[in-house]
Amino acid sequence: MRYENKSEPRMAKPEPALPQVSGFYWAKWFIPEDGTADEDKFVRTNCWEVVNVVNAYGETDDDFRVEVPGVERTQSIENFMWAQPCRPLPEPAA
């Protein structure tokens, strides 16, 4: 079958591997950032948890940082495995 001139691409775009916008995401935390409180007691688990991705605002060279509940220091987005598709969770309806 011949492909007609259409504006949409033939193949769907691949989903991003890392978050591209701020919001809440499902992730697995694999490595704590250096200087994180209790990093020597960190135990890697295979559990998905909801984390908050925020703008770094010049804190580091990264565009985004990750806030983990109960951890005072933000973490690098590269220290996590992200659920696919990597999209922020929608806000709950009121």
**DSSP notation for 10-40:** SSPPPPPSS--SSEEEEEEE--PPTT-TTGG
Q: Is residue 84 part of a domain?
A: yes
Number of domains in the chain: 1
The verdict on residue 50 lying in a domain is yes
CA distance 35 to 75: 10
- Residues 26-68 have pLDDT tens digits of 999 999 988 888 888 888 889 999 999 999 877 666 789 999 9
For residue 1, pLDDT beyond 60: no
Q: What confidence tier does 2 reach under pLDDT thresholds 50, 70, 90?
A: low
pLDDT grade for 3, boundaries at 50, 70 and 90: low
Q: Whole domain around residue 83: which residue ranges?
A: 16-34+45-88
How many Cβ atoms sit within 10 Å of the Cβ of residue 74? 20
Residue 77 falls inside a structural domain = yes
The pTM assigned to this predicted structure is 0.74
Kindly state whether residue 10 falls inside one of the protein's structural domains.
no
